[in-house]
Structure 1
Amino acid sequence: MADTVASDPKEEALRATRTLNPRPEAVVDAVFTVSEFCDPRDLVQVKYEMVRRVRVDKVPAARAARDFGFSRQVYYDAVAALDAGGPAALVPGKPGPKGPRKLTDAVMEYVETRMAAEPSLRSKDLADAVAEKYGLSVHPRSIERALARREAARTQELPKSRS
């Protein structure tokens, strides 16, 4: 039997942008309990209001953090994010790795050196060479993609010629 619960468009939008507060019930600040505008499900709004409450209303940081359902560390992280990038910085970043884990710059320099010395090497041969030298199991297609990214980056760095 299918769920008959209607989905909430705002909740769907917050979830899609990773800004859905996982614990809206922990927000006990008076503004959020009486105002229709303030939504405890909106993580960015809750964090912004928490920082505003300390800075403008002079509420102690520990109390504000507690009333908004966060630790003091989360409060200080929100302050740093706001100071560095404004409200947009309160939006959580994408999860997952932020850079190469296996095909680091050092490994790719080795791969390019091998290719320059022996242009007939295939990506499978390069993957085997990386495994032998670094002990890393890398798919040949991953090496091809990494080489293409490096080439594209080099192409963008070239100065435009004057005509």
Structure 2
Amino acid sequence: MARQSSTEDPKIGELRATRSLNPHPQAVTDEAFCGNEFFDARDVVQVKYEMVRRVRVDAVPVTESAAAFGYSRQSYYEAAAALDAAGLDGLAPAKPGPRGGHKLTAEVCVFAQELLDGDPALRAKDLVVPIEDRFGVRVHPRSIERALARFRGSTDETG
């Protein structure tokens, strides 16, 4: 994470820390964001919320609203869906990186479960080396526990 300089606006530092710093604030041309202290084009959550609100409350066409806030029509629909699904939290950019146990595929989970079925005394920490030896992936024991819980739940529902 970038360090905040002593001359940087504290709000920019906070927006950056919460991944809410708009990378293109200059693209926001909506009149409410020009010369109004309350509206801040640097705050991506506020920008996306206002973009969606303009369409839903002010009946501004999607294309016009998206353009005024520096986004595409597709981005508008993604923001609207995220707002509906998760509220304002849905408008904040997600943490970068993979989601879920991407190293722990179904094949790895089957292997781990077979080891556990063969020796109930084994624990997740005992599976790290066999998984690494067989599949070439190094995983944390807690990740194994979570993946097996998901795996068991998915096989219980279908089995």
TM-score past 0.5 threshold: yes
Match of 1:31 in 2: 32
8 Å contact from structure 2 (residues 128, 140) kept in 1: yes
- Residue type matched to 2:24 in 1? R
Give the number of aligned pairs.
Answer: 143
- Residue type matched to 1:37 in 2? F
- Residue type matched to 1:124 in 2? V
Q: Secondary structure at the match of 2:74?
A: helix
C-alpha separation in 1, matches of 2:53 and 2:128: 54
Percent sequence identity over matched residues? 48
Post-superposition Cα deviations, 1:45-90, rounded to whole Å, max 9, x if no partner, equal 0011111111122111101111110011111111111122222211
Match of 1:133 in 2: none
Match of 2:56 in 1: 55
Post-superposition Cα deviations, 1:114-143, rounded to whole Å, max 9, x if no partner, equal 354367987534432x2xxxxx3123xx26
Q: Secondary structure at the match of 1:20?
A: coil
Query: Does the C-alpha gap of structure 1 residues 147 and 88 become closer, same or farther in structure 2, counting only changes over 3 Å?
Result: closer
Unaligned runs of 5+ in 1: 131-135, 158-163
Is 1:117 aligned to residue 118 of structure 2? yes
8 Å contact from structure 2 (residues 29, 69) kept in 1: yes
Query: Does the C-alpha gap of structure 1 residues 81 and 126 become closer, same or farther in structure 2, counting only changes over 3 Å?
Result: closer
Is 1:127 aligned to residue 132 of structure 2? yes
8 Å contact from structure 1 (residues 81, 90) kept in 2: yes
- Residue type matched to 2:136 in 1? S
Post-superposition Cα deviations, 1:3-26, rounded to whole Å, max 9, x if no partner, equal x86011100000011110000000
Q: Secondary structure at the match of 2:11?
A: helix
Is 1:82 aligned to residue 83 of structure 2? yes
TM-score between the two structures when normalised by the length of structure 2: 0.76
TM-score between the two structures when normalised by the length of structure 1: 0.74
Q: Secondary structure at the match of 2:34?
A: helix
Unaligned runs of 5+ in 2: 154-159
8 Å contact from structure 1 (residues 127, 143) kept in 2: no
C-alpha separation in 1, matches of 2:42 and 2:108: 44
Match of 1:18 in 2: 19
C-alpha separation in 2, matches of 1:39 and 1:143: 41
8 Å contact from structure 1 (residues 103, 143) kept in 2: no
The CA RMSD over aligned residues, in Å, is 2.7
Post-superposition Cα deviations, 1:25-57, rounded to whole Å, max 9, x if no partner, equal 000110001211100000000011111111122
